Every structure is written in structure tokens, then in C-alpha cells.
Amino acid sequence: MQHKIQADTGWRIWWQLTRPHTLTAAFAPVFLGTMIALTYTNIHFPLFFAMLIASIFIQMATNMFNEYYDFKLGLDTENSIGIGGAIVRNGVKPKTVLNIALVLYGVSILIGIYICMETSWWIAVVGLVSMLIGYLYTGGPYPIAYTPFGELVSGIVMGVFLILIAFYIQTGTVTTSAILLSIPSMFLVAAIMMANNIRDLEGDKEIGRKTLAILLGRQTAISILSIFFIISYVWIITLVVLGQLTPWALIVLLSIRKPMKAITIFRKNLHPLQVMPAMKETAVTNTVFGLLLGMGILIGHLFS
């Protein structure tokens, strides 16, 4: 069954080019890392906003590199499912997409210099490594997204790294507690990538990708996605039971219907267009989980 995808017009072309549903993967970890830091020190808000803007710009640039290289490799067509495809559906020149991504990286570097001047130049090393990984995710001779390591790499960079950098620029250190609290974010960011790969499984298989979803098979990949969700929630419950978090952190459980809905949709539907809502629910899970956990930590701190 053919599904014709309608082209975007006007400002929507450029908005969709950023792949907005993925930007929460940049916002939530920065917010969470800052809330964890609040339990140690007062928040330096200019650094918080600088970190937030730089992270979102890097995520946008990464998405545009993805757009560019998917086109160059012939992956995107006019009937491709998803919000990518600004080049093939909307007539945006490939070079324009690449140049915008590079400009966003350039602005992020300038913001990063400010952050380093206020904190430590070691941040530059971590930041540049993260940016390089963002490019290599779909660019370069051996794109990470074409391998079984996409979920792991994205989870570490967009989950653990972002939380710990946001924490470090406020406190000047990295603690065991901060590392432990970054683990659920790692799994939830990985879940976003897994959901994307489950949706694109058949198309990716045709072009020779070797994603984890392809190697495991669709049903096993959905089960692994379920495990990612379960670990994230059980991790927080365990930290509360062990006294590492106040019971306020349990407000993350308010978001649990989102991942349950995502898994249900994946189990019941096969066509990429039909499982698009599952991808949205997965992305929303990451955002709401991070926001709720950050709020729980904040409330617990205020009333301790």
C-alpha cells in the first residue's frame, strides 16, 4: 500500500528540518543535570541557558547531517515515512542543509567557549568529542547509525554526557550520585533510537544497514525497547528505596502510560506510518521522565 507524504510549505519546511520531536533529547538531560546540581550549589543561570542552547543547536545540526547523508545515500524518497526528507520533498538544496548544520555547530562552539571560560577547558574536549560523534552518527565512511551501536552511542552522549556536563559546569565536579541519576536518561535516549530503527527496519535492511533492530528481529527489538523503559523506572524506584532519592522522585511514575502506549502500538502495527505515534510516545517519555525526575529532585531538596 503506497502512502503519499504531503510536502511541507513555508516555515514548516525549516521547522521540520530540525526534526523537533528529537530536540527533547537535548533539553531533558540538561534540565535534569542542572536540578541534580541544585542539591549541591546555587544555579548559575547564564551557564544553564548557554548549555541548553548549545545542546539544542548540536541536536539540530546532527539531525541536518542525518538529512543530508540520508539523501546522499539514496535513503530518503518522496514517499519516505517520517519528518525527514526536506531535500527530496520540499526542494531544499543539499548544500544548504549541510551549511546550516555547520553554522549551528559554529554557534555551538562559540557558546562552548563561553562555558569553558566560566568553568574548565576540559569541557571543550568532551564537547568536541560529542560534536564529532554527532557528525559521525550518519556522516563519514562508517556511519554509527548503520551499525548495532547507534542506541549505545546516542544513549551515552545524549543521556549520560549531557547530564554530567550540565552538572559539572554548575558544581565543578562529577559525583557518583550524578552518574547514577544519568543512567535512566541513557536508556530513554537509546529507546528513541531503537523506536526509530524498529519503524525503519525493512527499509534499512534493503539498503544494507546493520542496526540492532535488524540483527535482533522486530519482535525481539520491541522487547528490548520494553526493557529499556522498565530499567529506567525500576532504577529510580531502587534509588528511592536505597535512600539515594526522596520519595518525591517517584512522580516519574506519572509518565508510565507513555511507554506502555508506545509498546502497544508497536506490537499491534507493522507499517511505518502506523507506528509513528509510538515514536512520538517514546520521545515524549524521555522528555516527561526527565522533567518529572528533575522536579522531584527539586521538590525533595526544597522540603528536606
pTM of the model: 0.86
**C-alpha 288 chain-centroid distance:** 13
Average confidence score pLDDT of the chain:
88
pLDDT (0 to 100) of residue 90: 61
DSSP three-state, residue 286: helix
Q: Delimit the domains of the chain by residue range.
A: 11-302
pLDDT (0 to 100) of residue 238: 98
pLDDT (0 to 100) of residue 59: 85
Dump pLDDT digits (tens) for 75-105: 655 555 545 556 666 667 888 888 988 999 9
Dump pLDDT digits (tens) for 4-36: 444 555 666 777 777 776 777 788 899 999 999
For residues 60-70, one letter each, b for 16 or more C-beta atoms within 10 angstroms of the residue's C-beta and e for the rest, the string is bbbbbbbbbbb
Dump pLDDT digits (tens) for 155-199: 998 889 999 999 999 999 999 999 999 999 999 999 999 999 999
pLDDT (0 to 100) of residue 84: 56
All residues at 6 or more sequence positions from 196 whose CB lies less than 8 Å from its CB, including other chains:
279
Dump pLDDT digits (tens) for 199-229: 989 888 887 889 999 999 999 999 999 999 9
> 61-75, 107-121, 207-221: which range is least confident on average?
61-75
In this structure, are residues 14 and 100 in contact, taking their beta carbons and an 8 Å threshold?
no
Domain 11-302, CATH: 1.10.600
CA–CA dist 246, 240 (Å, integer): 6
